[in-house]
Structures are given as structure tokens and as C-alpha cells.
Amino acid sequence: MPYLMCQRHKKLYALGMQCTQCTSAPRKHKSKNTRRAGHYDYQWQKIRAEAIRLQPYCSFCGTANDLTGDHILPLKEGGTNTLDNVRVLCRSCNTRRENDYRKGNRY
């Protein structure tokens, strides 16, 4: 008899049956802090990829590992998803900048 694995619980179950843990436990709602939340849609993904293609290194530390796109002026403050409002940062610099931004230090 063929089996499938529940990706969530890593348990085998028979083909055509559902995972017993998935059906008995209610699913939690997805966090609103996902890539689709806010304005991070297909347009943003294209612009971020283009910015990384044009500048394949971090604007702050110069590394080429784990690059992300960062809005210079955040969307909630009137920024836009355009190439001139995006800079390339590595994930650690982006996180550091976000934490400083929340504390009131803006750069």
C-alpha cells in the first residue's frame, strides 16, 4: 500500500487518507507579518531582484551574502515600490537598520 508523508508532522499515512493530527488540531491562522502582507507583491519582488542584479553587494558592509531589498523611505511613510527607493542590504544590516529605525534612529 502506498504511503504519503504529512509535511507538517513528518508522519506517514496511507494514500487517500488525511493526517490524523492535521484533522484533529485546528490550524493556526497565518501571521500577518508575511511577505504578502503590506505591499510586498509581485511588483516588489521584481524591483528587489532588479536592485540586487544591479548592485550585488550590501550598501552598508559590502558583503555579497544573503542580500535583501530595503525601502529607503518606508511604504507607511509614503515611500514607493520603485527602483530609486530601494537599496540592497544583507539580512543582518537590514535587521539592524530596522531595529534602529523602530528606536527612532533613522538612516
Helices marked H in 1-107: 20-24, 42-54, 91-103
What is the Cα 68 distance to its own chain's centre? 9
This prediction has a pTM of: 0.57
Domain ranges of the chain: 42-103
Q: What is the mean pLDDT of each run of 10 residues along the chain (107 residues)?
A: 74 76 61 54 89 93 91 86 91 82 63
Residue 56 confidence (pLDDT): 94
Residue 11 confidence (pLDDT): 77
Cell 502582507 belongs to residue: 37
Q: Name the grid cell of 29.
A: 491562522
Q: Name the grid cell of 63.
A: 558583503
Q: Name the grid cell of 35.
A: 511577505
Residue 79 confidence (pLDDT): 86
Residue 24 confidence (pLDDT): 60
Residue 9 confidence (pLDDT): 74
Residue 51 confidence (pLDDT): 93
Catalogue the E-assigned strands of the chain.
3-5, 12-14, 67-71, 86-90
Class of domain 42-103: mainly alpha
Return d(Cα 82, Cα 57) in angstroms, integer. Answer: 19
Residue 42 confidence (pLDDT): 85
Residue 31 confidence (pLDDT): 53
